[in-house]
C-alpha cells in the first residue's frame, strides 16, 4: 500500500511539476513583438460605431494599437503580471504624444487611458523581463515615428481616398520604404467590402529594431482592398 501511495505521489509530481514550470516561463518570456497600427477610417466605417476621444477627432494617420509579445510558433502570452497595474503617473511625460499617436476610437469616448491600460495589462506585462512600463510605451511611440506608415503608402500613390488598391502594391510599398515585409489585416466596411484595417510589423525582443516576421498571423484580405478616408 505504501509503495502504491509513494508511486502515485511520484507520478502526480512528474505530471504537475513540468506544467507549473512551463506556465511560469511562458508567461515571462517571448520571442519577438508585433507592432500593430490601425487605420482609424477602417475602425470607424464598419457596422459597429466608433467614438472620437475627448481630445477630439484624431489625425488622419495610422494610430498605434499595440506592441504585442509573441512566440515564434504563433502563440502568445497575455496578462502576465497583475501585480504591475497600469500607472499613468509613470508615463506623464509621454501623455501628449500618446494622445496623438495612440488615440482610442472605442465607445464611449475617453482620454485613451482605458485603451492603454488594456494594452499594458494584456500585452505589456508580458515583456517586463526586457522593458518596464515607461520603456514599453516609449518604444511603441518611437516605432510609430520611425515607420511612418502613411508616408510609405502615399509615396507610392496609395492614398486614403476610398479607392481600391492591390494588397500586393500595399505590401510592396511598405517593404520598399520601411525595409521589412508587413502583414496586413483587413476588416469590412458597412457594405461588406474588404479594407485595410491594421498593419503588423515585427520587432526584436529588445524593442530596438524591426525584423522580418518569424511568423505571420492568420487571416486573409481580398486581392484588392479599399483604403477608406478618415
**Residue from 28, 113, 119, 134 carrying the catalytic annotation:** 119
Q: Are 189 and 226 in contact (CB under 8 A)?
A: yes
The C-alpha atoms of residue 194 and residue 225 are separated, in whole angstroms, by 5
In angstroms, what is the minimal distance from the CB of 170 to ligand 5GP?
19
State the helix-helix crossing angle for 133-147 and 113-122, rounded to 10 degrees: 110
Q: Is 187 helix (H, G, I), strand (E, B) or coil?
A: strand
Asked if 64 is part of the footprint of ligand 5GP (rule: CB under 6 A), the reply reads: no
**Residue from 121, 123, 185, 226 carrying the catalytic annotation:** 123
Nearest to 141 by CA among 99, 105, 78, 97: 97
Among 35, 68, 86, 136, binds ligand 5GP (CB under 6 A): 68
The C-alpha atoms of residue 15 and residue 7 are separated, in whole angstroms, by 12
Q: Is the dihedral of CA 51, 54, 59, 62 positive or negative?
A: negative
Among 42, 64, 66, 124, binds ligand 5GP (CB under 6 A): 66
Task: Please confirm, yes or no, whether 119 is among the known catalytic residues.
Answer: yes
Q: How many residues bind ligand 5GP (CB under 6 A)?
A: 15
Q: Is 223 helix (H, G, I), strand (E, B) or coil?
A: coil
Among 32, 35, 39, 43, binds ligand 5GP (CB under 6 A): 43
Interaction mask 192-211, ligand 5GP, x per CB under 6 A? --------------------
Asked if 62 is part of the footprint of ligand 5GP (rule: CB under 6 A), the reply reads: no
Q: Which three cell numbers stand for residue 218?
A: 492568420
In angstroms, what is the minimal distance from the CB of 37 to ligand 5GP?
11
Cα separation values, 104 from 65, 71, 118, 225, Å? 9, 27, 11, 24
Asked if 42 is part of the footprint of ligand 5GP (rule: CB under 6 A), the reply reads: no
In angstroms, what is the minimal distance from the CB of 87 to ligand 5GP?
18
Interaction mask 128-157, ligand 5GP, x per CB under 6 A? ------------------------------
Tell me which stretch binds ligand 5GP (CB under 6 A): 82-90, 98-106, 154-162, 171-179. 98-106
Among 95, 106, 150, 156, binds ligand 5GP (CB under 6 A): 106
The C-alpha atoms of residue 6 and residue 80 are separated, in whole angstroms, by 35
The C-alpha atoms of residue 120 and residue 86 are separated, in whole angstroms, by 6
Please, where are the H alpha helices in 89-225? 95-101, 113-122, 133-147, 149-155, 167-178
Task: Please confirm, yes or no, whether 123 is among the known catalytic residues.
Answer: yes
* Binding interface with ligand 5GP (CB under 6 A): 34, 38, 43, 65-66, 68, 70, 76, 104-106, 115, 118, 122, 217
Amino acid at each position: 500500500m505504501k509503495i502504491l501511495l509513494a508511486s502515485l505521489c511520484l507520478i502526480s509530481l512528474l505530471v504537475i511539476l513540468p506544467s507549473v514550470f512551463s506556465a511560469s516561463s511562458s508567461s515571462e518570456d517571448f520571442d519577438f513583438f508585433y507592432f500593430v497600427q490601425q487605420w482609424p477610417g477602417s475602425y470607424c466605417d464598419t457596422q459597429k460605431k466608433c467614438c472620437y476621444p475627448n481630445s477630439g477627432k484624431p489625425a488622419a494617420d495610422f494610430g498605434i494599437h499595440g506592441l504585442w509579445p509573441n512566440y515564434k510558433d504563433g502563440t502568445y502570452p497575455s496578462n502576465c503580471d497583475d501585480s504591475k497595474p497600469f500607472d499613468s503617473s509613470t508615463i506623464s511625460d509621454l501623455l501628449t504624444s500618446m494622445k496623438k499617436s495612440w488615440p482610442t476610437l472605442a465607445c464611449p469616448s475617453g482620454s485613451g487611458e482605458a485603451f492603454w491600460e488594456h494594452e499594458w495589462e494584456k500585452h505589456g506585462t508580458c515583456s517586463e523581463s526586457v522593458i518596464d512600463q515607461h520603456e514599453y510605451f516609449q518604444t511603441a511611440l518611437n516605432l510609430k515615428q520611425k515607420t511612418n506608415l502613411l508616408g510609405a503608402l502615399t509615396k507610392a500613390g496609395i492614398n486614403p481616398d476610398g479607392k481600391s488598391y492591390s494588397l500586393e502594391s500595399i505590401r510592396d510599398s511598405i517593404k520598399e520604404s520601411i525595409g521589412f515585409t508587413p502583414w496586413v489585416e483587413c476588416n469590412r466596411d458597412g457594405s461588406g467590402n474588404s479594407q485595410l484595417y491594421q498593419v503588423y510589423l515585427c520587432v526584436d525582443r529588445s524593442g530596438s529594431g524591426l525584423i522580418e516576421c518569424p511568423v505571420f498571423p492568420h487571416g486573409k484580405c481580398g486581392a484588392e482592398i479599399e483604403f477608406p478616408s478618415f
